Every structure is written in C-alpha cells, then in structure tokens.
C-alpha cells in the first residue's frame, strides 16, 4: 500500500489508511530522520491522578537517592 502527499492550503497532508483504525483526536508527534523518513509517535497524556501516583512513588525513594548521590 502506498499513499501520496497532497497540498491543502499551506500544508502538505499525508493520509492514514482507514485499515490502521487510528481513532480521531489522538495526538501524534512528527519527526523526520536523516533519510527523510517521517515518523509519527503517539503522545501519551498522563492524568493528574496518575502524575500524583508517580510523584508519591518517587518521593518514597528520595532519602535513598540523597544518601547515594555523594557515594
């Protein structure tokens, strides 16, 4: 399967085949490598509750990290 770029206003558009079943309103971060390959990576959003859980978990190990940093 191949897809072609097309021009829409001042933007070049690359379509995603429906067979990929990519849902709408998902954020992707585009990048281009040295060969000119375009890569789209899904941006994972972390909920505020999940962030709080991560900080709570990491804070448990702060005293150990402080103790070991100068060893």
Residues in contact with 33: Cβ distance below 8 Å, sequence separation at least 6, in sequence order: 39
Q: What is the pLDDT of residue 48?
A: 83
For the segment 3-30, the average pLDDT, to the nearest whole number, is: 92
Residues in contact with 18: Cβ distance below 8 Å, sequence separation at least 6, in sequence order: none
41 close to 27: Cβ distance less than 8 angstroms: no
Structural domain contains residue 33: no
Structural domain contains residue 18: no
pLDDT tens-digit map of 18-66: 999 999 988 999 999 999 999 999 988 778 888 888 889 989 988 888 8
Q: What is the pLDDT of residue 45?
A: 79
Structural domain contains residue 49: yes
pTM, entire model: 0.54
Q: What is the pLDDT of residue 18?
A: 92
Q: What is the pLDDT of residue 54?
A: 87
Residue ranges making up the domain that contains 51 = 45-70
Count how many domains the chain has: 1
How many helices (H) and strands (E) in the chain? 2, 4
């Amino acid at each position: 399967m191949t897809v072609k770029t097309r021009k829409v206003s001042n933007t070049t558009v690359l379509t995603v085949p429906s067979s990929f079943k990519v849902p709408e309103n998902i954020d992707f971060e585009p990048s281009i490598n040295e060969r000119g390959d375009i890569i789209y990576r899904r941006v994972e959003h972390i909920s505020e509750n999940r962030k709080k859980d991560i900080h709570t978990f990491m804070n448990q190990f702060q005293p150990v990290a402080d103790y070991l940093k100068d060893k």
